[in-house]
Structures are given as structure tokens and as C-alpha cells.
Structure 1
Amino acid sequence: MNNNTSLIWNIVLSIAVAVLFFLHFSGNKSEAGAGSSDGGVVAGRRTVYVQVDSLLTNYDFFKDTKKALENKHFQLENELNTKGRSLQNEVAFFQQKAQTMTPDQARSTEAQLMKKQQDLVAYRDQAMAGLQQEEAGKNEELYKQIRAYIEKYNKENNYEYVLGYSLGGGILFADKSLDVTQKIIEGLNKTYKESDAGKASADSTAKK
């Protein structure tokens, strides 16, 4: 199972494609950017950007979520391997003893083994689908958290656009003076740290 990259690529694609943070504010355009020095923005340049890859790498919610889901993938993989080896051992034992069984006993045992195999496959598919659904929910939650904080951040700065910049994306060049990535990361991490989920994660880490 691709337990190390599934979440990462889902979120990168979600943000890089869908979260190009186009936050357009039509009111007070002439006044909004004139007094702001944040991100090097001057009058007439009320567009800033966030480096998506750096944001993901440094956002604590993403790191905690990625780690938690990777652990679940690892646990599921181990569980499936254990169940699979157990079933293989039963099959091997049946093959050794089949000649000593009556035809009815052999057919009954074979049917039971086939049922166990089918149940294991069904369990695997159900468990993997559940993890994929959980990942999708976390991706959506991540998007909403970033979007909500960007909107909050923009109320104090009144930018016309906050763009998501990533290597290979639609933006070919970005002036570093317009980069507000670090400010967004600091704000997101502060908000997450103060949330119930962030406190729970901190407590769990402290107990280890």
C-alpha cells in the first residue's frame, strides 16, 4: 500500500488546483493597499502569494494528520499480513491432511477456507475504503481551515488576491517580496495549537 504518499498527493492536488485562494474584495480598492507594508505590498500591488509546498510541510495540522493516517495504514497492513499468513497456514495444513479426509470432510473444509478468503478480501476492501474516506475528510478539513484563516487574514490586509504558488503550477514567477507564506503558517499553527485537536495532539506527544 502506498501509505506514505497517498495523503500527501491528495492534499497537494486539492490545494494546488482548487485552493488558488482567489479572494476578491471590491470595496475601498484605492485605500486598501496604500497603507499596508505586510509582504512588501505597496499601492497598486494588493496581490500576495503562499507557497503551497512550504505551507504543507510546516502546518502542524497537516503533519499530525499525515502521521496519524500513516499509522493507521501501517496497522492495517500488519493486520492483513497476519490474517493472510494465518489463512495460508490453514490452507497448507489442509493440503497435508486432505488425503486422510473423507470427500465430504475435504469439500466442507475447502468451502470454509474459501469463505475465509472471501471474508478477508471483503474486510481488506472495506477497511481501505474507510481509510480513503477518512483521508478525503481530512483533506476537506485542511482546505477549510486554510481557507478560513486566509479570509480572516485578509480582513486585516484587504488584498485583492491571495494566490497559491507551487512548482509546476500556473504561476510562472512570483516576487519574493509578495510572499506571505511564513505569516500564514505562523497564524495557522497558532490557531491549531489553541484548538481542541491541537491540544489533544500536544498532550499525546507529551505522554510519549
Structure 2
Amino acid sequence: MKKILLILAAVALTTVGCNKNQAPAGGETKPAAETTESDAAAAASSGTIAYFNVDSLISKYDMYLDLRAEYEAKAKKADAELTSKGRSLESDLKDYQNKIDKGLVTRSEAMTMQENLEKKQQSFVQHRDKVMNELAEQEQVMLNKIHYNITEYLKEFNSDYRFKIILSTTSGGPVMNADPSLDITQIVLEGLNKKYAAEGKTNKNSEKLSLDK
């Protein structure tokens, strides 16, 4: 589940900041942590391109981790509920078939049981589809939030256009090799987590003020 969510989020961010230009291709890139703010500043002074690794960024982005934990908890609860309902339905079907095979019910009783089972099965399918649709919607909203927050932060981060363009890279993506000094993954990650933490404190303070009134 975690790997699937990371892949989906990475796909959603692959084109961030990459509308007109393309970075040079080649071999592997160094870890984002090796790039410092001074490296980025030096690269920016030459009016060059910067890039960040989507996989590394999202996997350590606190907002993503929180939303993912919330989603997985809901998905786990839904799975347990559907499994329980499914087993109950399966048990009823076996009981019905057993009574039919052994002639333990009249034709009228059998018809009533069959109708009840069909209604129960239909109700289960409708509920299952509803739950799955809700989970899919929550997952999409989560990815949209991650994409939006990263995109908006990059606008703030590069509001002075120190970089002419900021590319996003992924494992196996089009950017295979680049100068490590242009990698701003760690800088962006720290900024995102700092902003997320600050927004969390602001929300908590607002809730506290509301309760105190």
C-alpha cells in the first residue's frame, strides 16, 4: 500500500516546474542531503536549473506521512468490515444450500430464504462499492493536497526566480544524471516540513482560542 501511494504521488508531481525545458540525461544522482543551501545559492547565482527528487521528497514529507497514515487506517478498517460482512454472507449461502440439499425446508421457505440472500448480497455489493469509491476519492484528494502544497511552496521558494526552471525527477524518469549541486531536494523538504509544522501549530492555536471563548 505504501509503495503504491508513493508511486501515485510521484507520478502526480513529475511535471512540476518542467513546462518548457529539459535537464541533461546521463547516470545516477547523489542523495539530496549532500546539497546545502550554499550550494543552491551558488548554482542560483549563475541563473541555472535546479531539480528535486519526487520519491525522496514525498517519502519524508510530514504532510504526506500524516495523510497516508490516516488513509491506511481507514482502508484497514474498511477491509476488516467488508471481510466480516463477506464471510457472514458466505456462511448464510452455505447454510441455505445445506438445507436445500437435505430437504430441511419447504419450497416456500426456500424461496423466502433465497430472496433474503439476494437482498443481502445486493446490499453487500452496494456497500462495498460505496466504501471503495470513498477510499479512492480520499486517496485522490490526498495526492491533490500533496501536489498543491509542493507546487505552492516551490512558487514561494523561487519567487525571486533565482532558478530559471525547477525540474522534478523520479526513479527511472527522463532525468538520469545531473550536477549534484543543482539538487535542492533536501532544502525543499526542510522548507515544506517547517511550513507544515507551523501551519499545524497555527491550527491548534486557533482551535484553542475557539474553545476558550
Match of 1:19 in 2: 16
For structure 1, which segment, 44-53 or 134-143, has the greater mean C-alpha deviation from structure 2 after superposition? Answer: 44-53
CA distance in 1, matches of 2:203, 2:73: 20
Match of 2:120 in 1: 116
Match of 2:89 in 1: 87
Q: How many residues are matched?
A: 186
Does residue 189 of structure 2 align to residue 185 of structure 1? yes
Instruction: Pick closer, same or farther for the CA change 1:57–1:148 going to 2, 3 Å.
Output: same
Report the alpha carbon displacement of residue 167 of structure 1 after superposing the two structures with TM.
2.2
Please, what TM-score do these two structures have when normalized by structure 2?
Answer: 0.78
Q: What whole-Å deviation, never above 9, does each CA across 1:96-133 have from its counterpart, x for those lacking one?
A: 33322111110111111112112111211111111111
Please, what TM-score do these two structures have when normalized by structure 1?
Answer: 0.80
Classify the secondary structure of the residue corresponding to 1:100. Answer: coil
Instruction: Pick closer, same or farther for the CA change 1:20–1:166 going to 2, 3 Å.
Output: farther
- Mapping 1:42-121, distance limit 5 Å: 43-98=45-100, 99-121=103-125
Match of 2:134 in 1: 130
Match of 1:204 in 2: none
Classify the secondary structure of the residue corresponding to 2:68. Answer: helix
One-letter amino acid of the counterpart of residue 141, structure 1: K
Match of 2:158 in 1: 154
Classify the secondary structure of the residue corresponding to 1:173. Answer: coil
Contact 2:45–2:162, Cα closer than 8 Å, also in 1: no
* Backbone CA RMSD of aligned residues: 2.4
Q: What whole-Å deviation, never above 9, does each CA across 1:165-201 have from its counterpart, x for those lacking one?
A: 222112121110111111100110011112249967x
Classify the secondary structure of the residue corresponding to 1:162. Answer: strand
CA distance in 1, matches of 2:20, 2:38: 19
Match of 1:28 in 2: none
Give the gaps of 5 or more residues in structure 2. Answer: 22-36, 205-213
One-letter amino acid of the counterpart of residue 163, structure 2: Y
CA distance in 2, matches of 1:136, 1:123: 20
For structure 1, which segment, 3-12 or 159-168, has the greater mean C-alpha deviation from structure 2 after superposition? Answer: 3-12
One-letter amino acid of the counterpart of residue 86, structure 1: S
Contact 1:49–1:165, Cα closer than 8 Å, also in 2: yes
Give the gaps of 5 or more residues in structure 1. Answer: 25-35, 201-208
Does residue 199 of structure 2 align to residue 195 of structure 1? yes
Quick one: higher RCO (CA 8 Å, sep 6+), 1 or 2?
2
